[in-house]
Structure formats: C-alpha cells, structure tokens
C-alpha cells in the first residue's frame, strides 16, 4: 500500500531525509517515531505529495506520490492544521467534500457519521469559537471526506488534553479496520499500543524498523528482578526480602543456588521487558546511531 525506496530530501546544504526505505502493508498501522528534527514530518509530506523528493521514490495506493490522482486515495492530517475559522464544522467539511467532487447526499451522510463517531456536537458553531480539541476532530473529519484508503497523520493528538487524546487515539484505531494508517507521534505509549510495526528515525534516516517485538529483541534488554529470603552478592534489601536485578536466566539460577547455600530460598522472579521508550532510548544513544 505504501513503499518508500531510498527517499531523500535536501534543502540547500541541509539533508532533511537521507535514503530512507520502508513499506507499509494494506491494513497496517505504521508508527514513525524519533526526536524533533529527525525528518518525520518531511517524510510524511513526501509520501503525501506535498513536497517532492530530491532522490528516491515513494508510492501510495499504487500511485507515485507526486501523482495528483493519488491524493483522491489519501487522507492527510498535518501537525499544524489551521481551519477557516469563520466557517462551521458542517460548512467547512462540505466545502472540502465539494473539492473532492463528493455528491451532497453522500457528503452529508459521511460528515454526520464521522462527527458522530468523534462525538463532536458543536457542528454549527464558528470554528474560531471552539476548543483546540474540537478543531483537531474537525481536521480529522476533513481527512475522511473523500473516503480514502490511506491515512497519513502527523502527530494526530499533539497538545491535547488526556480525554481528547484518548478519544482520538481510539478513533485512529477504529479507522485501521479498513484503511492503512501511517502516523508520527512523540507519545510512545500510544505508538506501542496501536502500531503493528514501527520505524525509528534519527538524523533523517530510519535506523530500526519492525514489529514492537522485533525491535525489542534486536535493541532491548530484558531484566529479571530476583527476590530471595536471604542476602546474596549484589542484592539489596526490599522490605522483608532481598532483590537483585540481572539480565539472563543463567544468573537467576546462580542466585537461587547461592540463596539455598546460605540457608534461604528464591522467593520470586519478575521479568521486565523493555518498553518502546526503553528501546528508542537505547537506539538513539547507541554509539553508531
């Protein structure tokens, strides 16, 4: 559904994106993460046909990203999405439906259905007089008026309160039932919760990609918290017992044997798998990142 091959974008002497290659299968949710300035927004804009790659190629829904016909198959949500504030939500969305040649009857049904799903009631109030969260919901609804196959969202829940953020994240998950979704986000919990696969971007290049489990296995470190009834080497008091953190099961077995030799026992072993944030930090801080 989406394929980027050696995608590159230069601005004068600045390389914003350098040779990124990745693909997104139909029906997948693909998350693009990285620090500010990593090239995420530039990458999404190249996929959306808003800027032209300096080199490489990108295809979306079978079309070259620069093909105007591709945009009929695409719903794009930029991080900053100013609205026509004198318009109401209904009039604004009808205006964009007209631009896509969506018939009025179909447009009205689609608009009302989408606003219902987004739980947006202020449909006839001027957009200049609604909250930031409501504006973001209207911008999301705008991305759906043409019933696209592919959605590309840049920070869909940026700067919103927790309730609105959760509502939008849940809505994005709903959309993935019959669409392909690519989005960037700084909230790695949402990415880890929603995404089928993830790409980690640093300095204009995707340096790691795959499922959460694949990235965790390649770049994360599993920790074992071992609790004993007696103190063993390296253990610290933890209430009425002792705890030592190690990185492999062989050492866990050694701790069990040491506890038994000291007249005690192994009480518990708790495994902590690295979160996506842990993995991201490990990748970002690696010497060759």
Confidence (pTM): 0.85
Question: Both 211 and 231 in a single domain?
Answer: no
Residue 274 pLDDT level (bands cut at 50, 70, 90): confident
pLDDT over threshold 90, residue 128: yes
CA separation for the pair 155, 158 (Å, rounded): 5
For residues 63 and 195, state if they share a domain: yes
| Within a domain: 114 | yes
19 vs 144, which has greater pLDDT?
Answer: 144
Measured CA to CA, the distance from residue 84 to residue 81 in angstroms comes to 10
Identify whether residues 119 and 185 lie together within a single domain: yes
Q: Assess whether 229 and 129 both reside in one domain.
A: no
The chain-wide mean pLDDT, for the chain, equals: 93
Q: What's the structural domain count of the chain?
A: 2
Q: Is the pLDDT of residue 261 over 80?
A: yes
Question: Please, which pLDDT band fits residue 42 given cuts at 50, 70 and 90?
Answer: very high
146-203 pLDDT, tens per residue? 999 999 999 998 888 888 899 899 999 999 888 999 999 988 988 988 999 999 999 9
Does 78 have pLDDT greater than 90?
A: yes
* Average pLDDT for 119-148: 94
The predicted pLDDT at position 219 comes to: 86
Nearest alpha carbon to residue 7 among 64, 62, 79, 73? 64
What is the pLDDT at residue 75?
96
């Amino acid at each position: 559904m989406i394929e980027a091959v050696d995608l590159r974008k230069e601005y004068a002497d600045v390389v914003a994106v350098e040779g990124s290659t990745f693909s997104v299968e139909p029906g997948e949710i693909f998350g693009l993460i990285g620090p500010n300035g990593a090239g995420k927004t530039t990458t999404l804009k190249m996929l959306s046909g808003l800027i032209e790659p300096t080199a490489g190629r990108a295809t979306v829904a079978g079309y070259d990203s620069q093909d105007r016909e591709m945009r009929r198959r695409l719903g794009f949500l930029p991080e900053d999405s100013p609205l026509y504030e004198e318009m109401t939500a209904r009039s604004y969305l009808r205006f964009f439906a007209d631009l896509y040649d969506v018939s009025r009857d179909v447009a009205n049904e689609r608009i009302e259905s989408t606003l219902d799903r987004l739980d947006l009631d202020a449909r006839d109030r001027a957009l200049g007089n609604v909250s930031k969260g409501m504006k973001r919901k209207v911008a999301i609804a705008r991305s759906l008026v043409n019933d696209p196959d592919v959605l590309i969202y840049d920070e869909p829940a940026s700067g919103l309160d927790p309730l609105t953020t959760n509502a939008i994240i849940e809505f994005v998950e709903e959309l993935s039932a019959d669409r392909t979704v690519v989005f960037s986000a700084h909230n790695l919990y949402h990415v880890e919760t929603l995404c089928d696969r993830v790409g980690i971007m640093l300095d204009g290049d995707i340096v790691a990609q795959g499922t959460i489990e694949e990235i965790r296995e390649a770049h994360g470190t599993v920790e074992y918290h071992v609790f004993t009834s007696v103190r063993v080497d390296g253990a610290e008091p933890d209430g009425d017992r002792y705890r030592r953190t190690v990185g492999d099961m062989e050492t866990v077995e050694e701790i069990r044997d040491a506890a038994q030799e000291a007249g005690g026992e192994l009480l518990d072993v708790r495994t902590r798998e690295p979160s996506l944030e842990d993995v991201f930090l490990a990748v970002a801080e690696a010497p060759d990142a």
